[in-house]
C-alpha cells in the first residue's frame, strides 16, 4: 500500500504474532458488540492500556501511541464512495486506487495486487524477466547525486563497473579470436563471432541504463530503445548458442562428410532467422512502453502497460519459451 499524497510519513513495522491488531470485540464481553456505537467508542482507550500496538473495528483502525492513547483512522471496507474513478486512477497493473474523500480528494493510495509494488504499482515481477528498473529503481534516491545515494547503490555501481570492464575485455578478446578467417570458415565461427559482438553490445547498454537510472536522464526514446534491446539481445545470444550446439552434434555425426561451405551458408540463414523471429516476437514491448511520473518519489519511470490479459499472457509465454527452449537444446546436444 502506498500513499500518493505529499508530504507523508513512512513507518516500518515488523509484523509478528505479538503485535498483531486484534478486533475490538476481543477485549470485551459478548454484550459489547450490541451496544450503540457512541457508547462503544468510550471504551476505545482501554485496549491501549494493555500495551498493544493497534486494534480495529468495522470502520476504522486504531493505533496506540507511546502514551498509551488511541488514535483511530477510518478506512474503506465494503462501500465504493472513496474509490478513484477510472479517469483518475493513477495505479498501474490493475492496482486499486483509494482516495481520502469522495469530493475534492487531497490524497490517494494504491493497493497493489500480488507480485507488483511501487508507489503506483508500477513494478511487476510476474514475468520471467527482471529489469534494472525493478531491481535498482526502488533504492535510488530522486534528485540526488551518486555520492548522496544509499550504500547499496554505491556497492551496486562498483560491482556494475567491475562487471562492465571484465565483460568488455572478455568480449573484445573473443571478438578478436573469432574474427580470424580460419575460424569463420564454418558456421561455428560465425555463431561465436556474432554472439561475442552481441555480448559486448548488451553489457554496454546495461551500463548506460544504470547511468540513466541514477542520474535520471531517461526519456521516451531511451526508454523504448534500451528496454527493447535488453529484451532481444540476451534471447538472441541464447538461440545462437543453441544453434552452435546443434552444429557441433552434426559435425560429430557426419565426420569427414561434413561440408564447411554448407555449414557457413546455413549459419548465415539461421542467424538471420533468429534475429527476425526475436524482433517479431518482442515487437509488442516497445509499442506499450511509456513514461510514468511518480508524484510521491518525484521521478519518472519507464514502464510497460499491456492493455489486455492476452498480451500479458503472450509476453509471459514468449519469455518462458525463449528461456527454456535454448536451455533444453543446449542440455540435450551437449551431452
C-alpha to C-alpha distance for 191 and 183, rounded to whole angstroms? 11
End residue of a domain, out of 17, 35, 67: 67
Q: Mapping DSSP to helix (H, G, I), strand (E, B) and coil, where does residue 105 land?
A: coil
- What local confidence, expressed as pLDDT, does residue 279 receive? 93
Q: What is the mean pLDDT of residues 180-204?
A: 89
Question: Do the domain assignments include residue 133?
Answer: yes
Write the burial class of residue 239 (CB in 10 Å: 0-12 exposed, 13-18 middle, 19+ buried): buried
Give pLDDT, residue 9: 52
Asked whether residue 177 falls in the same domain as residue 308, the answer is yes
**pLDDT computed for residue 73 by the predictor:** 79
Which of 48, 67, 86 is the last residue in one of the domains?
67
Mean pLDDT of 91-100: 80
**Pair 137, 19 in one domain:** no
Whether a cis peptide bond, with omega within 30° of 0, leads into 7 is yes
Domain end, chosen from 17, 41, 67, is at 67
Q: Is residue 94 part of a domain?
A: no
- The fraction of the chain above a pLDDT of 90, given in percent, is 21
In this structure, is residue 97 part of a structural domain?
no
- Residue 248, classed as helix, strand or coil, is helix
Report DSSP letters for 3-32, one per residue.
Answer: E-SSS---------GGG---BGGGGS-TTG
Question: Looking at residue 84, what DSSP letter applies?
Answer: P
**Is 122 within a domain?**
no
Residues 155 and 56 in one domain: no
d(CA 235, CA 164): 19
255-307 pLDDT, tens digit per residue, is: 767 777 888 888 899 999 999 999 999 999 899 888 888 777 778 888 888 87
Indicate the number of domains in the chain: 2
The predicted structure's pLDDT at residue 150: 84
Question: What integer pLDDT is reported at residue 5 of this predicted model?
Answer: 46
- Report the side by side order of strands in the sheet with 54-56: 54-56, 60-64, 70-74
The CATH number for 191's domain is: 1.20.1070.10
170 shares a domain with 34: no
Considering the domain architecture, whether residues 37 and 156 belong to the same structural domain is answered as no
Instruction: Confirm whether 245 is domain-assigned.
Output: yes
Instruction: Tell whether 134 and 32 lie within a shared domain.
Output: no
Beta bridge pairs of residue 294: 299
Residue with cell 524477466: 129
- Beta bridge partners of residue 304, listed in sequence order: 289
pLDDT recorded at residue 202? 93
Residue 201 belongs to some domain of the structure: yes
For residue range 69-92, what is the model confidence (pLDDT) as tens digits?
888 877 655 555 567 776 677 888
In a domain, 115, yes or no: no
- pLDDT above 80 for 132: no
Arithmetic mean of pLDDT over the chain: 82
Encode pLDDT of 3-56 as tens digits: 444 444 555 666 666 678 888 888 888 888 888 888 888 888 888 887 788 888
CB 101 within 8 A of CB 93: no
Q: Which domain holds residue 287?
A: 129-333
Number of H helices and E strands in the chain, helices first, is: 9, 10
Amino acid at each position: 500500500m502506498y500513499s500518493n499524497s505529499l508530504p507523508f510519513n513512512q513507518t516500518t513495522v515488523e509484523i509478528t504474532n505479538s503485535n498483531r491488531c486484534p478486533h475490538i470485540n476481543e477485549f470485551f464481553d459478548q454484550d459489547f458488540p450490541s451496544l450503540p456505537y457512541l457508547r462503544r467508542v468510550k471504551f476505545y482507550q482501554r485496549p491501549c492500556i494493555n500495551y498493544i500496538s493497534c486494534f480495529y473495528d468495522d470502520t476504522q483502525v486504531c493505533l496506540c501511541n507511546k502514551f498509551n492513547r488511541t488514535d483511530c483512522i477510518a478506512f474503506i471496507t465494503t462501500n465504493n464512495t472513496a474509490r478513484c474513478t477510472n479517469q483518475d486512477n493513477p495505479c498501474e497493473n490493475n492496482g486499486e486506487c483509494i482516495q481520502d474523500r469522495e469530493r475534492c480528494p487531497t490524497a490517494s493510495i494504491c493497493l497493489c495486487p500480488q507480485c507488483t509494488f511501487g508507489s503506483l504499482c508500477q513494478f511487476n515481477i510476474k514475468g520471467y524477466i527482471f529489469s534494472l528498473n525493478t531491481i535498482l529503481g526502488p533504492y535510488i534516491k530522486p534528485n540526488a547525486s551518486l555520492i548522496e545515494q544509499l550504500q547499496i547503490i554505491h556497492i551496486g555501481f562498483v560491482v556494475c563497473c567491475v562487471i562492465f570492464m571484465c565483460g568488455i575485455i572478455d568480449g573484445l578478446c573473443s571478438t578478436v579470436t573469432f574474427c580470424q578467417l580460419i575460424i569463420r570458415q564454418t558456421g561455428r565461427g560465425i555463431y561465436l563471432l556474432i554472439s561475442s559482438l552481441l555480448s559486448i553490445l548488451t553489457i554496454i547498454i546495461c551500463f548506460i541504463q544504470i547511468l540513466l537510472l541514477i542520474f535520471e536522464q531517461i526519456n521516451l526514446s531511451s526508454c523504448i530503445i534500451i528496454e527493447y534491446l535488453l529484451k532481444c539481445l540476451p534471447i538472441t545470444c541464447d538461440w545462437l548458442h543453441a544453434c552452435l550446439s546443434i552444429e557441433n552434434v552434426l559435425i560429430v555425426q557426419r565426420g569427414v562428410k561434413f561440408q564447411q561451405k554448407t555449414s557457413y551458408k546455413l549459419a548465415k540463414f539461421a542467424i538471420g532467422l533468429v534475429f527476425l523471429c526475436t524482433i517479431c516476437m518482442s515487437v509488442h514491448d516497445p509499442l506499450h512502453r511509456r513514461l510514468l511520473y511518480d508524484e510521491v518519489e518525484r521521478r519518472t519511470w519507464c514502464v510497460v502497460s499491456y492493455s489486455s490479459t492476452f498480451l500479458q499472457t503472450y509476453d509471459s509465454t514468449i519469455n518462458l519459451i525463449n528461456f527454456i527452449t535454448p536451455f533444453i537444446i543446449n542440455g540435450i546436444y551437449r551431452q
